Structure 1
Amino acid sequence: MSNLFLNADCMDPEVGLPSLPSDSVDIMPVDPPYGIDFQSAWRTESQRFKKIANDKTPFTVWLKEAYRVLKPGGRLFIFYRWDVAKAFQDAAQEAGFTVVYEMVWDKGNHGLGDLKACPAPKHEMFLYCTKGRYEFEGKRPTSIIKAMRVSGPEMIHPNEKPELLYKALYRSFSAGVPVVVDPFAGSAASLRAAESMGFNYVGYELDPDYYAAAQARMAKGIQMQLL
């Protein structure tokens, strides 16, 4: 499978998940629309990130195609917000996945939120699911992964995750040279991590502006590696 990053809907029958062969993907790190329709107000109005498409309700229609394209033993990681956890758990199980465990991303420092009435958020939860059973070939990973969150001025996407988080997942849950597919690539951190580790990948980003920003960052990374 060739390395591809496409400005496309992951459910497009011509180029999206439906176009990929069955049982062809090892790992899918997925940060889908959570269904919270949120837009941060901490930046000035002109600098504010656009809202995420399809974010009115938890977006789960991709899960059946994800199950089809993953190999037996394939690993799926679904990031979500705490208040929509059950929607993603139920949809993953309905698609055929085994929901193995709930994992934690320790961000290293906290984000914003209600400064007067809510604890400072320092972590995010994500589901670890498998297609059938996957057994670790190396050291057993822990349920908590620590990777410093991307600082506000460096972010090019409102839900951006750091490359180090994806690298930790790939190291802990893969062997050999896996194929990585990210249906909602956003800043493409998952793809940059795969590329830096010599893995094969396919990624999709629907929004043309976020796609352009991610493309520019990927190109910059390649140029830095060539220096």
Structure 2
Amino acid sequence: MIDITNFCWNEVKYIDCMDPDKGLPSIPDKSIDLCLTDPPFGINFKGKKDYSSKREIVLYRDDHLFEWNLKWFSEMERICNGIVFTCGYKYFFDWIKYKKPNRRIVYHYKSNACGFNGYIDPILAYGKIENWARLRQVIDIPLIVYPAKLIHPTPKIYNFWYYLLNKLKPKSVIDPFLGSGTTAEVCTKLGIPWVGYEINEVYSQDINKRLKNCKKEKQQVSVGSFL
């Protein structure tokens, strides 16, 4: 078990988050305030050495996949005070049936100015989360293209992650599926201690690019009228 007093914050661990020695099982109970993550839902979560820019769809049975999700979720319940994650519509009712969330919100982003095309994604919240009342039930997010070219096929929308963390103001954050590093970048800008896991080390290119010149903001600024 890791001594949380000597915990290495603001660090990415390029290993399976369920690694028994260095992963989630090694972190003490209730030692991190918030888990904020976007789980892979069966898309290449095992990783591979010769990874291309195209995602590989791994064919798992739905019941097997959901059982896998419950493993990391159980660890997050033990480690964190609160959990916030994207569940996807495919598994939305599976999560609701498994355990009723304390809160849930929906975010919508437009893919063009007219608003005819867009995407809606549900967010579930479990545990004790301070400042949750600051969030809207339905959040409209303007789609802003990330300025740097990333190899990750589905990076999380930066301004939505910023909205969540800026409103919730957690004391510390963990993301077991860091992906392109959105959580790490936002936490760094907001001055929130963070730790992340990413099984595909190829994404270190994205993460390093995003964190290279990333510094804590001198003062919090608005990232859009939706705030």
For normalisation by structure 2, the TM-score amounts to 0.72
In structure 1, C-alpha distance between the alignment counterparts of 2:74 and 2:213, rounded to whole Å: 35
Residues 75 and 173, structure 1, Cα contact 8 Å, conserved in 2: no
SS in 2 for 1:123: strand
Residues 110 and 118, structure 2, Cα contact 8 Å, conserved in 1: no
Runs of 4+ in 1 over 4 A off after TM superposition: 52-56
Instruction: Find out whether 1:123 has 2:120 as its counterpart.
Output: yes
Instruction: Find out whether 1:164 has 2:159 as its counterpart.
Output: yes
Corresponding residue for 1:140? 134
Following superposition, the deviation at residue 194 of structure 1 comes to 0.5
Corresponding residue for 1:85? 92
State how many pairs are aligned: 196
Following superposition, the deviation at residue 217 of structure 1 comes to 2.5
Corresponding residue for 2:173? 180
Corresponding residue for 1:34? 41
Query: How is 1:148-227 mapped onto 2 (pairs within 5 angstroms)?
Result: 148-149=142-143, 151=145, 154-174=149-169, 178-221=171-214
Following superposition, the deviation at residue 81 of structure 1 comes to 2.0
SS in 1 for 2:169: coil
Residues 36 and 85, structure 2, Cα contact 8 Å, conserved in 1: yes
Instruction: Find out whether 1:9 has 2:16 as its counterpart.
Output: yes
Following superposition, the deviation at residue 14 of structure 1 comes to 1.8
Corresponding residue for 1:67? 77
Structure 2 residues not aligned, in runs of 5+: 1-6, 45-51, 219-227
Residues 161 and 186, structure 2, Cα contact 8 Å, conserved in 1: yes
Following superposition, the deviation at residue 149 of structure 1 comes to 3.7
Following superposition, the deviation at residue 200 of structure 1 comes to 0.4
Following superposition, the deviation at residue 159 of structure 1 comes to 2.5
What is the alpha-carbon root mean square deviation over aligned residues? 3.2
In structure 2, C-alpha distance between the alignment counterparts of 1:52 and 1:26, rounded to whole Å: 33
In structure 1, C-alpha distance between the alignment counterparts of 2:87 and 2:195, rounded to whole Å: 21
Q: 1:63 to 1:190 in 2, by over 3 A?
A: same
In structure 1, C-alpha distance between the alignment counterparts of 2:184 and 2:102, rounded to whole Å: 24
Following superposition, the deviation at residue 173 of structure 1 comes to 2.0
Residues 108 and 122, structure 1, Cα contact 8 Å, conserved in 2: yes
SS in 1 for 2:102: strand
Residues 187 and 213, structure 1, Cα contact 8 Å, conserved in 2: yes
- Give the aligned residue type for 1:87: D
Percent of pairs with identical residues = 23
In structure 1, C-alpha distance between the alignment counterparts of 2:120 and 2:23, rounded to whole Å: 31
- Give the aligned residue type for 2:126: C
SS in 1 for 2:90: helix
Following superposition, the deviation at residue 48 of structure 1 comes to 4.4
Deviation track 1:58-89 (CA, whole Å, cap 9, x = no partner) reads 4412011101101xxx2211213212212233
